[in-house]
Amino acid sequence: MKATLLSSTAILLTLGGQLAQTCQDHGSHDTKQWKLSPEELAELKELERKWGTDWSFSGISTFAHLKHVKCLTAPSEKFDIGIIGAPFDTATSYRPGARFGPRAIRQASSRQTSFRGFNPRAGINPYASWATIIDCGDIPITPFDNAVALEQMSEAFLELGLRSSPPGKEKGKKEERKPKLITLGGDHSLALPALRALKKVYGREVRVVHFDAHLDTWHPAKYPSAWPSTQSHFNHGSMFWLAGQEGLLSNSSTSSNIHAGLRTRLSGTDPSDFTDDTSQNWLRLSADDIDDLGGPSGIISAILSQFDLSDPDPDPVYLSIDIDVLDPAFAPGTGTPEPGGWTTRELIRILRGIMDVLNIVGADVVEVSPAYQGRGEETALAGAQVVYEILTGMVKRGLKDVEAGEAQGHDEL
């Protein structure tokens, strides 16, 4: 009898859930309401109690064991923060392999769980706070045609960016909130389609805080070739140059974009790459500046000095983190490693100092190429920890916005 009851309940739930999802996605108002008896609900509750929790080493691999939804095919799914993978690496200039980055970062996040996710530095558990956070899966990106791949990523980021978040729980006026995406790369070129989407979603240029060993503002001609093509302009070293050409970045003299952790070699026989970078309105903080400015706190102050933190309508900021900002001793599994970088601890300290202060509207963690890392997964582990810090900062910033909104009598989240 019990087996029959549970079997029937499972069938009802499966069919009812599929029917409800199908009808909702197609705008039908004839969804059949499946109602369960108290006995059936009690049975389901008991099953969840017994079998509903995974260990860190068990379960299907999603980021931090989050609920997985293929968000691109589930328009009715609402979320505040979505983890989306962009397994693309055919715009790299040296070592490929970052297409496996999203999978590696998810695997490395296995020890992150909602029941052991409290961040003592921030005083919150980002997985058990106000935000609905889900793993949206991956964008299915072609590895054969970069023009199509760029179009796919641009449309995917826009599709998800235009979704609405779940309604807030605070009293007062309810304003539609925009969901935020954290992209697991993939090579760094994905920042261009992400910025395209954000410009349309927010209707304004975006500021960028960019952690990287390299400038990534190179004019495409800096990659010499006897076979030039327009399509070759789209690569993981020129995407911010392209973003500037397309008017996606703030170009105000008082609103520069920021590089941090630089230690790249330059083109030719002079520092003209820096001149080009300055003309594109970027402030450069080198890896060595962490010593000259007094440690992570000096880097934090230098970044925040570029923002008006009292502005009631703060600039939207895109946070882009190339894992090669870390020294190869800490992140060898990347496409273009550069010795002399920051430690994982230093990067995390800097992120903690800016994340819940700035108005971060999107972020990426890119260039994790697991084929080049050791068996200890050090590069992917660093990437997973960085995502956790970003999540924490977004959630904590959201709590601040709630408090500000309640003081004004409406919901800001």
Residues making up the binding site for Mn(2+): 188, 212, 214, 216, 322, 324
Beta-carbon contacts of 124 under 8 Å, excluding residues fewer than 6 positions away, are: 118, 392, 395, 396, 399
29/95 Cα distance (integer angstroms): 52
200/341 Cα distance (integer angstroms): 35
Tell me which amino acid residue 277 is: D
The residues facing 285 across adjacent strands are 260
Query: Cis (ω within 30 of 0) for the bond into 16?
Result: no
- Rounded to a whole number of angstroms, the CA Rg of the chain reads 22
Burial grade of 285 (CB within 10 A; 0-12, 13-18, 19 or more): buried
Segment 39-42 long-range contacts (CB within 8 Å, at least 24 positions apart) = 39/5, 40/5, 40/9, 40/12
186/367 Cα distance (integer angstroms): 6
Q: Quick one: which of 61, 63, 90, 105 has its CA closest to 333?
A: 105
Structure tokens at 383: 């990437």
Look-up of token digits 């916005």: 401
Q: Quick one: which of 329, 330, 363 has its CA closest to 344?
A: 330
CB of 303 within 8 A of CB of 258? yes
CB of 341 within 8 A of CB of 260? no
49/239 Cα distance (integer angstroms): 48
353/350 Cα distance (integer angstroms): 5
Q: Quick one: which of 125, 119, 113 has its CA closest to 57?
A: 113
Residues forming the annotated binding site? 188, 212, 214, 216, 322, 324
C-beta atoms surrounding 69 within 10 Å: 17
Strand (E) or helix (H) holding 189: none
